[in-house]
Amino acid sequence: MLRYSLLLPVALLAGAARAQTSPGITAADMPAVGDTLRLSQATGLPASAPPLSRNGANQTWDYSGLVASSQTVDRYANVNTTAATLQFTFNNPLLNPASRATLVVPRALPLPATALGLPITDPLEFSNVSPADFRLVGYGGTLNGLAVPVTYASQAQQDVIYRFPISYGSGASVSNSLLTTPAVLAGTGYFSQKRQRTSQPDAWGTITTPFGTFQAVRLVATLLDHDSLAVGGAPARA
């Protein structure tokens, strides 16, 4: 089981950080084509930093003393920049409306290809932003020179990351998803992942980082994964 907290900042006009009510997160706050996501990692919290367990209303999280030890940058692109076989699955509202994506970003499959013995390169993550939610609709990668899509079992079994709107008063959101490899990989390897994602807003306030001060809602996500792997044989649970 994996449990993690995510602070969702909302960049508003000057003075917004002084607001005394919980901010709301909507689809307008999600990534768009051309946006970049920078993830900075620090080796530890400074002694003066507030504990990560701090929750509740109108909190102040001062992490301005964090020093990044590494940083990754992801760039969100238009789905029409991907291979034709991937566009057939993720950019085809007539034949594949359930798996239609609005964004694509370089990102590894949720299970490492090395565990399957699959020589997958150029991994991609496809997602969809709508007024209702932000969800993952599948992945893609290149196998032996062929771009191969990996999709969820159905639209109802896609991984919903956020349901909108999100605010401190929102109830818990539960998503049950099932991701499986396509039949074209059956002779090489197989994996499936059943996931239950429970997301619960448990705090709001202002957060200060080396990049500025923002209003934020803290969302605690709990993931329960059931993975099945197979390499030249019957699936094995992981």
Looking up tokens 């399957």, which residue turns up? 116
Residue 237 has pLDDT above 60, yes or no: no
The reply to whether 50 falls in a domain is no
The reply to whether 124 falls in a domain is yes
Q: Which residue has the higher pLDDT, 99 or 169?
A: 99
Alpha-carbon distance 145 to 10, whole Å? 41
Q: Which residues of 196-233 are buried (b: 16+ CB within 10 A; e: fewer)?
A: ebebebbbbbbbbbeeebbbbbbbbbeeeeebbbbeee
Residue 82 has pLDDT above 70, yes or no: yes
Q: Tell me the average pLDDT across 83-93.
A: 96
The reply to whether 48 falls in a domain is no
What is the full DSSP assignment across 154-223? SGGGSEEEEESSB-TT---EEEEEEEE--GGGTTT-EEEEEEEEEEEEEEEEEEEETTEEEEEEEEEEEE
Alpha-carbon distance 104 to 107, whole Å? 9
The reply to whether 134 falls in a domain is yes
The reply to whether 46 falls in a domain is no
Question: For residue 129, what pLDDT is reported?
Answer: 98
Q: Tell me the average pLDDT across 73-93.
A: 96
Q: What secondary structure letter does DSSP report for 33? A: T
**Residue 104's domain spans which residues?**
2-13+21-40+58-237
Residue 77 has pLDDT above 90, yes or no: yes
Q: Which residue has the higher pLDDT, 115 or 32?
A: 32
Output the pTM of the full model: 0.86
Residue 119 pLDDT class (50, 70, 90 cuts): confident
Bond before 165 cis per omega within 30 degrees? yes
The reply to whether 112 falls in a domain is yes
Domain count, the chain: 1
Residue 207 has pLDDT above 80, yes or no: yes
The reply to whether 45 falls in a domain is no
Q: What secondary structure letter does DSSP report for 136? A: E
With CA atoms as reference, report the closest residue to 152 among 188, 194, 93. Answer: 194
Nearest 10 degrees: CA dihedral of 35, 22, 39, 176? -90
Question: For residue 154, what pLDDT is reported?
Answer: 95
The reply to whether 36 falls in a domain is yes
With CA atoms as reference, report the closest residue to 158 among 120, 126, 187, 201. Answer: 126
> pLDDT tens for residues 134-149?
999 999 998 888 898 9
